[in-house]
Every structure is written in structure tokens, then in C-alpha cells.
Amino acid sequence: MRNFQQARWDEPIIMEMGSEGERGVLMPLAEERVTDAVGSAQSLIPAAMRRKNAPKLPQMSQMQVLRHFLRLSQETIGTDINIDIGLGTCTMKYSPKVHEQFVRSPKMSELHPLQDESTVQGILQILYETDNYLQEISGMDKFSLQPSGGTQAIYGNVAVIRAYHKANGEDYRDEIITTILSHPGNAAAASTAGYKVITIYPDKDGYPDIEALRAAVGPKTAGLLITNPEDTGIYNFRIKEFVNLVHSVGGLCSYDQANVNGVFGLARAKEAGFDMCHFNLHKSFSSPHGCQGPAAGAQGVVAKLAPFLATPTVEFDGEKYYLQDNGEQSIGKLRKFWGVPQVILRTYAYIRSLGPEGMKKIAELSILNNNYLLKKMLEIEGIELPLAPGKRRLEQARLSWNKLYEQTGVGTDDIDRRIVDYGFQCFFASHHPRLIPEPFTPEPVETYSKADIDEFVAAFASIADEARHNPELVKNAPYKAALATQIDGEGLTDPKRFATTWRAFKKYVDK
Ligand SMILES: Cc1ncc(COP(=O)(O)O)c(C=O)c1O
């Protein structure tokens, strides 16, 4: 294990830096013949739009600016300097750097969404072909690439469910069923759309309870929103029965495939009977998201639901690519213009560079890595694998530190803070709901090597050991991080305690 020490710069904010007269770039004055011909640059700005006073900008050299931002970058444990396995359902996989060249190329970055379609045929072709690839991966018949993220894509699917039942004169259907260990975005999207949410709990074996579903379905059922594998990594082997049951009462079924890495090329939404699915194009198809970059979701449906998709979709008439307004039946717009084309371009590059065999390999590697990690984690005294014990997980696993907590008083939140001292960024808060006590959900996908996984496990083994011998050490962590104490849950919701910079944080700690 490395002896990690995070950068701790007592860095003023950039507006407080610089000194009078310092400059980054010295611009030459315009030559006389230029000003004679066009006047001064200022005179070209209408008087009403000119500033009365010069803006207060920091006066700094290029090196000072560069140093400032490089230092700040070292105060984070981002995906590129971290073995990012511990965020559970939000783990970021490797995003090939070559993709950045594509999205930052002027061919992409200088496009404007209001350009005439004839001048943006390249990106429209990429959007269209990405839609086709996603159809192939899922078996669905049409995708909208409009959503800004996974939960918005789920919301889009809920809106399709509502529009479909309305078109059939069945808008009395006001219940949506989900499972407690499906991603919480499913219940949230259904509830936001105004549906009553019925939640299925696991049966005695740890799988979504088919008998509970049988009791829940009825004439009011609008649909089923389900994640599979669930956020526990458990694959619901009765998924087809779940879908059939909901179909038997006239409901629609939507498959949350945000974490599709363990399923690529092995199973498809269509064969399980689903009417809809969604993918997180960030994360599963490369591209970091959350505070590390914008996200994009893809909403896919079977042919009978295509008219309801978010508008516009991208079509091809044999000669040119164009944006198609989906008309009156469409659920309307989820986002402006083309969705988030940079993330879609990375998705396209990811699929093209891997090909069908490569994508299947991703699934195999994700499952292998996860089960290796799981086996190693379970060798640590104090950690357990509740629900479906002894059964394999797919690409992630929800473990529990409950035994360690009962033995030492050190729980998942303490470990979450202490792991930062080992150089790993975790954020166990994503491991909701806490149906499993003291939860922890690692997800290595295909990104990490055996050595990375071993180092990650060794850090947790060391913390479990510390918990037994010196629990206070763990409870008061972190010590080697940029911030002495992480802001706790309350701090995140109390505006008076926000600290967006190291300095602001210090002021509030010193008080
Ligand atoms: C299974 C699952 N569904 C839905 C989501 C929600 O996606 P987003 O965070 O983009 O809204 C996630 C998050 O990564 C997820 O893991």
C-alpha cells in the first residue's frame, strides 16, 4: 500500500491573488492604420453597453494561474488519481483519453446546435448510428438520446407509460411497481410523475419476491420499473416471470440498465420481454459524470411505443440525416437541441472501438473482477454479504460492515472517512436505501487490474484491523486529506456551513 498524503494547499481563492500590473499575456496595441480604418475597439461597442468601471480581475502571470489550478486539482481524489471502486452504483469506469481528443476537436467543439442540418451531417450520423447500436445491444426498436442522465431517462420512460395508457383510454392506471433494491431513481421518477409507488421487498432467499409482485399487480398497475442486477449485484433470475405478470394485467415494463457492464452481450432487455429500457451513457459507456462532467441517458422502447419517445429523434432518409419532431403523441422535450452530444460521441467511440466481442468481454471481465474482489473482501473479519448468501454477484456487491460495527462501534460512515487517508475516494452515501445495515457497495467493472483490487482490499483490511485496536483513530479520520474533517451530512444541508474552498472551510473551522 502507498503511504498516501493528499495535497494540502492553504490556497487563497484566485480573486484574492495577483499583484498590480502583473499580466498573463501582453497584447500589442492596434496599429495606427488599423485604428484609422475601423476606429478604436471601444468605439465599436455601443455606449450603453460599455462598463463604467473596469472589472476587478486578479492580475496574474500565466505561471501563477497554472500553479493555482494545478494545486487545486491535487486537492481532489478524482477518477484519474484514484482506484474508483467504492462508489457503488455511481462508480466511474475508465474513460479512454483518446475520447477527449474527439470531443475537444474543433470539429465537435465548434458546432452549434442551431446550424443548418446540412452542415452537421457528421454529428447527426453519429447520433443515428449510436441509436442503432443501442438497439442492437438491448433489442429495443428505437432510442431517444435526449435525456441528461439516468434518472431523467427513467422519468422519460415513466412519461411514456403514462402517454401510452392515456392513448388507450386507461389513464386510471395510477400505480407503478418497483423493488426496494432497484436504484432509488426508479421510485423517485415514478413519484415525481405523480404515481403511487408500490415497493417489493426481497423474499427469504434475498431475491425480489415474486409472490409480493403477484399480490401487487392489478387493474391499476401502470408499469414496472426494475433494475437487474439490482444495486446489490443480485441478478433476478425470474425476471421474465416478473415481466409476464405485469403484462398479464396490461402494465408496461421498463428495465433500468444503467449498470449494464455485467450484461453486455450476455442478455438483452428484449429477450426478457421488456417494453422499455434505459442506459446511462456516462459511466457504463465511458464518460465520467456527477461533479466530474455532464451525463447523458438513452431511453429505448419497442416499436409500439416509439411514437411516444422524447422529441426529437434522429432519422436517415437514405441520403441525409435529420432531426424528427415526434409529433403530438411524443412526451415532448427532455432537453434542448441534440441531448448531450459530447457524451454520445464518447459512447459511439466506446462501442466502435470494442465491437460486439469486445463488449461481451467487458461483461465477462466486470463479473470476474467483481467476484474476485468479493472473495477477497469476505476474507476480512467483520464484513458480510447479506441477501442471497453464497450466490454469485454480477458486477457489484452490497456488503455490510454491521458485524464490525457491533464488535467495535466502527461503522460504514467512519470507514468512508478513513479510506480517504489511504488515497481512495469513496462516498458510501450512494448505497441507499440502508435496508442492509452499514452498507458498502464496491463495483470494479472492467477497469481495474488484480493489483489495483488487491491494494483496494488491503486498505479495507487495514481499517478493519485499526477498528479493533484503535477505533478512535478510524472515527476521527481523515488525517491525510485536504480537509481535516469531512463535512458531515448535516453540513451538506446547512447553507451556513457550506465551504466551497479550503480557505472558507478553515475560517469556519477556526471560528
Ligand atoms: C442502476 C442505476 N439506475 C439509475 C441511476 C441514475 O443515474 P443518474 O445518476 O445519471 O441519474 C444510477 C446511477 O448511476 C444507477 O446506478
Distance 105 CA to ligand 1 centre (A): 29
Q: What number does the ligand 1 atom closest to the CA of 231 have?
A: 1
- Grid cell locating 436: 442492509
Residue 509 has a pLDDT of 66
Ligand 1 within 6 A of CB of 280? yes
Q: Is the CB of 258 under 6 A from ligand 1?
A: yes
| Ligand 1: nearest atom to the Cα of 182 | 1
Q: Average pLDDT, stretch 77-106? A: 84
State the pLDDT at residue 11. 79
pLDDT in tens, 273-312: 999 999 999 989 988 765 445 889 999 999 999 999 999 9
Rounded mean pLDDT of 166-183?
97
Query: Residue 72: is its pLDDT beyond 90?
Result: no
Architecture of domain 103-352: 3-Layer(aba) Sandwich (3.40)
Task: Encode pLDDT of 496-510 as tens digits.
Answer: 666 666 666 667 667
Shortest-distance Cα residue to atom 6 of ligand 1: 150
> What pLDDT is attached to residue 283?
87
Whether residue 90 has its Cβ less than 6 Å from ligand 1: yes
> What percent of the chain lies above the pLDDT cut of 90?
74
**Residue located nearest, by CA, to atom 16 of ligand 1:** 89
Average pLDDT (89-99) is 81
Reported as a single tens digit per residue, the pLDDT across 137-152 is 999 999 999 999 999 9
The mean per-residue pLDDT over the stretch 463-488 comes to 85
Query: Residue 379 — pLDDT band, cuts 50, 70, 90?
Result: very high
Residue among 79, 158, 181, 280 whose CB has most ligand 1 atoms within 8 A, to mutate: 280
Cα of 134 to ligand 1 centre, how many Å? 17
Rg over alpha carbons for the chain, rounded to the nearest Å, is: 26
Query: In the chain, pLDDT over 70 holds for what percent of residues?
Result: 93
Res. 360: pLDDT tops 50 = yes
Q: What is the pLDDT of residues 217-263, one digit of tens each?
A: 999 999 999 999 999 999 999 999 999 999 999 999 999 999 899 99
- Give the number of the atom of ligand 1 that is nearest the alpha carbon of residue 227: 1
Domains of the chain, residue spans: 103-352, 398-510
- Please work out whether the CB of residue 149 comes within 6 Å of at least one atom of ligand 1: yes
Query: How far is the centre of ligand 1, averaged over its atoms, from the C-alpha of 260 (Å)?
Result: 11
Pocket test for ligand 1, best of 79, 89, 232, 441 (most atoms within 8 A of CB): 89
* Substitution site in 158, 178, 230, 259 for ligand 1 pocket (most atoms within 8 Å of beta carbon): 259
Residues 6+ apart with CB under 8 A from 151: 185, 188, 189, 297
Q: Give the number of the atom of ligand 1 that is nearest the alpha carbon of residue 154.
A: 4
DSSP state at residue 439 = E
State the distance from the centre of ligand 1 to the C-alpha of 465, rounded, in angstroms: 33
In angstroms, the first-to-last Cα distance of the chain is 36
Q: Of 65-69, 123-127, 175-179, which gets the smallest average pLDDT?
A: 65-69
Kindly state the average pLDDT of the residues 161-174: 98
> Quick one: pLDDT at residue 467?
98
Query: How confident is the model over 323-345, as a mean pLDDT?
Result: 94
Q: 443 CA to middle of ligand 1, Å?
A: 13
Q: Residue 494's pLDDT is what?
A: 61
Average pLDDT over residues 14-43: 91
pLDDT grade for 457, boundaries at 50, 70 and 90: very high
pLDDT at res. 428: 66
The whole-angstrom separation of Cα 308 and Cα 162 is 10
Ligand 1 pocket, residue 93 CB under 6 Å? no
Query: What are 223's strand-pairing partners?
Result: 176, 252
Ligand 1, atom 8, residue with closest C-alpha: 150
Ligand 1 and 198: CB distance under 6 A: no
Which residues, 6+ apart, have CB-to-CB distance to 295 below 8 Å? 148, 149, 150, 280, 281, 282, 283, 287, 289, 340, 343
Residue 149 Cα to ligand 1 middle (Å): 8
Report residue 1's pLDDT band, with 50, 70 and 90 as the boundaries: confident
Specify the pLDDT at position 431: 74
What is the 359 CA–ligand 1 centroid distance (Å)? 20
Could you tell me which residues come within 8 angstroms of residue 499 by beta carbon, excluding any fewer than 6 positions away?
Answer: 487, 505, 508
Segment 80-104 shows an average pLDDT of 84
Ligand 1 atom with the shortest distance to the CA of 283: 14
3-class secondary structure, 44: helix
Q: Is residue 174 a contact partner of residue 163, using CB atoms and an 8 Å limit?
A: no
Which numbered atom of ligand 1 lies nearest the CA of 257?
Answer: 1
Mean pLDDT of the chain: 91
Residue 431 Cβ contacting ligand 1 at under 6 Å: no
Per-residue pLDDT reduced to its tens digit, 406-436: 999 999 989 998 998 999 877 666 677 889 9
Strand ranges (E), 292-451:
297-301, 313-316, 321-324, 399-400, 439-440
Q: Supply the pLDDT for residue 291.
A: 46
Tell me what pLDDT residue 292 has.
46
Neighbours of 49 (CB within 10 A): 6
d(CA 282, CA 297): 7
